[in-house]
Structure 1
Amino acid sequence: GQLPPRLPPRPRLPPLSREEWESYREIDGRVSKENEEKFRARVFAGSIDHSIRREVWKYLLGYFRFDATDIERMEEQKAKEREYEVMKKQWESFLPQQEANFARWRELRNLVEKDVIRTDRDVELFHSVSSPQLKQLQNILKTYIMYNMDLGYVQGMSDLLSVILAIMENEVDSFWCFVGLMDMIHDRFEITQEFMRLRIKQLRTLLKVSDPEFYKYLGEKDSNNLYLSFRWLLVDFKREFQFSDLMILWEVFWTLHLSPDYPLFFALAIIEKERNNMMDPKFDFSDIIAHINGLSKNLQLEELLEKAESICRQVGAVDHLPEELQPLVRQPLPPPFTFPSAK
């Protein structure tokens, strides 16, 4: 299908305030299905005020149920605390002989210990070798292995958890938020990498549909397999932004508002923004890779979020989307968020 004209980018809204958040909740603490939809649209359009992130992320990440009352939620939270302690004690209480007979555990535990020590050491929270947060990262990831031995631990998970821990500042809450995140994105950590290959193929098709000229150019430079986006898509642009920007970006992704895989549209926004810089006749494959790697911490988040939404809405309006792109866009696309007009 032909792409319809693209609408101009919509400016981002200010972050969701505590007052607005409370307005979505009933008197007993429940959030109705209708208000949950409004809330997701609102967060998508402006993300969340930092002062309420710790509370609101628990909903976005499925740790707290939107349809639970405050009383039910407190009871569920207590139960989750007990569950966490049970699973944590399992690995803490292994006998030396048990560990010696448990190769899968030893392999995953060693991987966690090796990765955690390299996670975000440039961030103050994790800077010191003796930082309690590094210890918490280890505890959570080792407990996650007990929770989900099939998936276990895969490189990149510590990168996602560290941001959650920085917000939650609590081991149990961070664990259950991480569980919720993994429930959303576990496919990308499969050992076969089949799902990551599918996502890169979808990104390639998106680029081909939205910018055939640049797609062809990348083909001439042996770069149109787009494997340069693997790191972006595995850990949600973790290396490309500072924590303060990542929090905004990730909560937009977690709303699942326009797409179940919005990072693909965000990746396309970066590629489109940089295309003219890369369409240099003197560029070869290694120059393109170097250019992409040089973007780390040099990207303007707000502008890219606005561009990604424009691209997603443009693609969503195509009559006959290629089959592999159809699952990427919610149909019908929800209209852009607007504040209720004053009565």
Structure 2
Amino acid sequence: MWGTPAEPADSYYEVRPECTDVPKTRFKIKPGKTLSVRKWKAAFNPEGQLDIGKTLNRIQRGGIHPSIRGEVWEFLLGCYSPKSTFDEREELRQQRRKRYYHWKNECHEMFPVVGSGKLITAPVITEDGQPIQDPLVLQETNSGLNASNTSEIIQNLTSHGTLEKKVIQWLLTLNQIGLDVVRTDRTLVFYEKQQNLSKLWDILAVYAWIDRDVGYCQGMSDLCSPMIILLDYEADAFWCFERLMRRLRGNFRCTERSIGVETQLSNLASITQVIDPKLHQHLETLGVGDYLFAFRMLMVLFRREFSFCDSLYLWEMMWALEYDPDLFFLYEEAELAGDKADISKARAKSARHYGKYERENLKNRGKNQDAPLPISVFLVASVLKDKSSKLLTEARGLDDVVKILNDQTGNLDAKKACSGAMKLHKKYLKKAKQTAQRRK
């Protein structure tokens, strides 16, 4: 079943032959460590309830076999409760698919390119809601859509009077989504197919419509792309992405009261100051104490620092370590209440089957403590610690810091990065506790 003793996973995510400089994956499918198809099926009881504890341990040891990655991710991201049965999940799956296609139809009625098998890469409307004549750069398919009838689509936008502000805002994002989609994971054979590009565009367009508070921001295509590859049904990929965005949407928020990923950068600075004060002081002296050089790592969860396959391996290990058994119920309650607030504000009460990282947080959590930091912040801190001596001796400015960090692209080890993050997390909690006691 497993082939060679340690099977590389590159073959599951085929790279275009002309892309010769793509980093090779370090992730290997290891019998006895990687969560296999057999072990995954054996983790369910006859009714379909999942033994999540054993599953998390297996993922933390060796990741997930690529052939079952999509369905396992649905549990890790809180799409389904491990306590649910096969029948309950099927019912919920059908309900969600209907909901997604209802939203997609709404979008199609406003702008028929959605769902047409095409996508746009140029603006269709001005900021004051006026249609732009013949602006579309359309990716050719056999859908029958062309520049002449897209002109009619644009004219129809305003034929019934002034457009609502929310519609204008949504239409203004569609070309940016298109520009990002055609640049996302283009080294993969998967995206040579137009239908896969348009599927990614459709999902992001629908998400931008339903989450008007955040809409669409650059980086979301990098987060959504793996869902399209791993899950056969577009609606299922949408819900997996939507659940991931419930964790990360704060990163993309920029309002008067919220500054998105900058909060995590500030936390990263605090962590580095505690665990490597010499490095932090050096970065301050260089004028990069705002840690903006780490912006991309946190924004798209290391998608650019790892090979495609290794970034998926890193994600699933992070999610297994952070796993909260009540995620599903928290998300469902928030959704039913129409509340899109960041879920980190709510905490589960169950004491069983947490991920290893989450258990540490629970153990050290005081009554008035803020929501725990995501493991991604400690992952960046771990990378900085690993490069500390090089940064201290060679970095003389922002460009040097960026170059030193970029030089490791494709050379990072996902498992090592996670274990490094766990060690730093423990060390940070210990030092923070000691500091708090001294202040008393």
- TM-score, length-normalised on structure 2? 0.65
Q: Identity over aligned residues, as a percent? A: 27
Structure 1 residues 68 and 123: CA distance shift in structure 2, 3 A: same
1:228-262 residue CA offsets vs partner (Å, 9 max, x unmatched): 10100011011111111011101122231315501
Q: Give the equivalent residue in structure 1 for 2:385.
A: 272
Matched length: 307
Please give the secondary structure, in 2, of the residue aligned with 1:279. helix
2-structure distance, mates of 1:137, 1:160: 11
Q: Secondary structure at the match of 2:288?
A: coil
Q: CA deviation at 1:38?
A: 4.4
1:169-202 CA distance string (max 9 Å, x none): 3311111100111112111110236131111111
2:314, 2:415 within 8 Å by CA — same for their partners in 1? no
Q: Give SS of 1:81's match.
A: helix
TM-score normalised over the length of structure 1: 0.82
Structure exhibiting the larger radius of gyration computed from Cα positions: 2
Residue of 299, 303, 309 corresponding to 1:244: 309
- Once the two structures are TM-superposed, the CA of residue 303 in structure 1 deviates from its matched residue by 2.5
Distance 1:137 1:61, change over 3 A: same
From the two aligned structures, give the one with the greater helix fraction. Answer: 1
How has the CA–CA distance of structure 1 residues 114 and 321 changed in structure 2, closer, same or farther, with 3 Å as cutoff? farther
Q: Per-residue deviation at 1:284?
A: 3.0
**Cα pair distance change 1:158/1:226, threshold 3 Å:** same
Task: Find out whether 1:320 has 2:433 as its counterpart.
Answer: yes
- Compare 153-162 and 41-50 and name the one that shifted more: 41-50
Q: Extract unaligned runs of 5+ from structure 1.
A: 1-11, 324-343
In the other structure, the counterpart of 1:209 is: 274
State which of 128, 133, 138 in structure 1 corresponds to 2:201.
Answer: 138
Matched, 1:64 2:57: no
User: Where does structure 1 differ by over 4 angstroms across 4 or more consecutive aligned residues?
Assistant: 95-98
Q: Alpha-carbon deviation of 1:144? A: 1.3
The within-5 A match list for 1:1-343 is: 14-31=33-50, 35-94=51-110, 96=153, 99-100=157-158, 101=163, 102-126=167-191, 128=192, 131-192=194-255, 194-255=259-320, 256=322, 257=355, 258-259=357-358, 261-280=374-393, 283-318=396-431, 320=433
Q: Find the aligned partners of 1:321 and 1:124 in 2 and give their Cα distance.
A: 52
**Per the alignment, in what secondary structure is the counterpart of residue 169 of structure 2?**
helix
Deviates more, 1:90-99 or 1:260-269: 90-99
CA distance in 2 between counterparts of 1:179 and 1:300 reads 28
Structure 1 residues 285 and 78: alpha-carbon distance in aligned structure 2, compared to 1, 3 A threshold: closer
SS at match of 1:280: helix
Q: Distance in 1 between matches of 2:224 and 2:188?
A: 14
Deviates more, 1:132-141 or 1:284-293: 284-293
CA gap of 1:147–1:281, structure 2 versus 1, over 3 A, is closer
The answer (yes or no) to whether the contact 1:99–1:106 under 8 Å persists in 2 is no
Structure scoring higher RCO (CA < 8 A, sep ≥ 6) equals 1
The one-letter code sitting in structure 1 at the alignment partner of 2:315 is W
Deviation at 1:37, TM superposition (A): 4.1
2:174 is paired with a residue whose SS is: helix
CA distance in 1, matches of 2:308, 2:79: 22
How much has 1:26 moved relative to structure 2?
2.2
Quick one: distance in 1 between partners of 2:419 and 2:78?
26
Q: Deviations over 1:117-145 (max 9, x none)?
A: 2212122222x3x5221111011111112
Structure 2 vs 1, CA of residues 322 and 229 (structure 1 numbering), >3 Å: closer, same or farther?
A: farther
Q: CA RMSD in A?
A: 2.3
Q: Is the 8 A contact 1:99 1:105 kept in 2?
A: no
Question: Matches of 2:90 and 2:397 in 1, distance apart?
Answer: 57
How far is 1:218 from its partner? 1.6
| Partner SS, residue 402 of structure 2 | helix
Deviations 1:143-177 (A, max 9, x none): 11233222221111001011121211331111110
Distance 1:317 1:45, change over 3 A: farther
Q: Check 1:98–1:63 CA distance in 2 against 1; reply closer, same or farther (3 A cut).
A: farther
CA distance in 1, matches of 2:405, 2:37: 38
Runs of 5+ consecutive residues of structure 2 not aligned to the other structure: 1-29, 112-152, 323-354, 359-372
